[in-house]
Amino acid sequence: MADGKERLVKEIGNLYLSDKASDIKITVGDVILFAHSVILTARCPAFELVLKWIYTGTIELPDFDSDIEILRLAHIYELTDLKELDIEHLKFISTIDTMSRLLNEAIILDLTELTQYVIEHWKQNPSEFIEILEAFVRWMQANTDKREDFPGLLKNISINGITVGEMNLTVPSDLIDGTVIMNAAKENLWEVAKTNVVAGGETAFFSNSGAGKLLRHTLGSSNDGIVVDLGHCFKLNAFLMQLVETDNRTYSYWIDVSEDNVNWIRVIDHSNYTCRSLQKLNFEPRLVHYIRIFGTAPSDGALEISSFEAFFKSEPFEAVAENAVLIAENVVPPEEIANVVEIAPNSEIETVNAST
């Protein structure tokens, strides 16, 4: 019985590239390769699907792996309509993990538009920064023979939401030179020149020519407050804000952040606190493109800021959590305000410790 199986396998194998009973010809340049549809459909389910498309113009695209096989066949046999249909389906079903495989196929098959699509997807999805970088690393590990292309491809991945430390931990130095990694990470640093004051101050505030200028929100005059556009998304978890100290003024305020200037999240709420001088503010790490600062006191005055900086800090400013609000230096909780009778000129309000 074993001999019968071996003979059958041998006889079917003899049909390889044979024109005997061949019903398919594959032309590669000047070379003709003979094949047999019954064997191709039995051994390659994707080929059966392609044959159905050729005869009926309809096809089932069941999953990512099958789509990739169909894409290869459609590309080889120059089935343009099927290839375009399959590419659109691949775009629709692809996830962060499969995007790296899709890029691989696009490069192998020299599909320029599909390659650009994957790169643009990576650029335009800031909430997926670290996952995209990890997927790219997996692709590099599977394609080490394309090592010379790694630095150029890395430049096409938006890493604005990734810190220098995360870059070093995620991208192995044996895949990309450490200098290249550091240069890419440095591009994540906040570029003052690309920062724009949308409301509540002059655009030049964040440039050298903005020396002496203020960010200002006159209470009751605007529902926008002070709005700052950082240029693109950054991963942040801290602000350093200098309140104007003229006449020993005190303020109350809150700060919201947003990725798209539509959906806002409150990260600092000192609307019921009396604040002055330098504000060292911590919040949970998140992607930030826009910052909105809104004054709530004094009711008849204005919130004025002489300097403002944004950071991602591995070690937060020293602060104490109270009622989900991070208390910074020079901030007095409502229950302590009665104890502050008068602020003498040039005096300092000590850090309030909620535990005492």
Distances in Å between the Cα of 182 and the Cα atoms of 113, 171, 185 are 30, 10, 5
pLDDT at 254: 94
Give the list of residues 6+ apart from residue 292 with CB closer than 8 angstroms, or none. 224, 225, 226, 227, 228, 255, 256, 257, 258, 264
Q: List beta partners, residue 268.
A: 255
CA distance 333 to 270: 9
45 φ/ψ angles, rounded to the nearest 5 degrees: -55, -35
Written as one letter, the residue type at 56 is T
CA distance 259 to 291: 9
CA distance 175 to 162: 18
pLDDT at 323: 34
Query: pLDDT for 44-60, tens place per residue?
Result: 777 778 878 888 888 88
pLDDT at 1: 47
Query: pLDDT for 156-189, tens place per residue?
Result: 665 655 665 666 667 776 777 666 665 655 554 4
CA distance 183 to 77: 43
CA distance 308 to 321: 22
Which carries the bigger pLDDT value, residue 135 or residue 342?
135
Query: pLDDT for 108-156, tens place per residue?
Result: 888 888 988 887 776 666 555 667 777 777 877 888 888 777 777 776 6
CA distance 215 to 306: 7
**Of the candidate ranges 15-24, 39-48, 278-287, 319-328, the one whose mean pLDDT is the lowest:** 319-328
CA distance 87 to 94: 10
Burial of 143 (0-12, 13-18, 19+ CB in 10 A): middle
Residue 258 pLDDT level (bands cut at 50, 70, 90):
very high
Number of Cβ within 10 Å of residue 16's Cβ equals 11
Query: pLDDT for 259-294, tens place per residue?
Result: 888 889 999 999 988 898 889 899 988 888 899 999
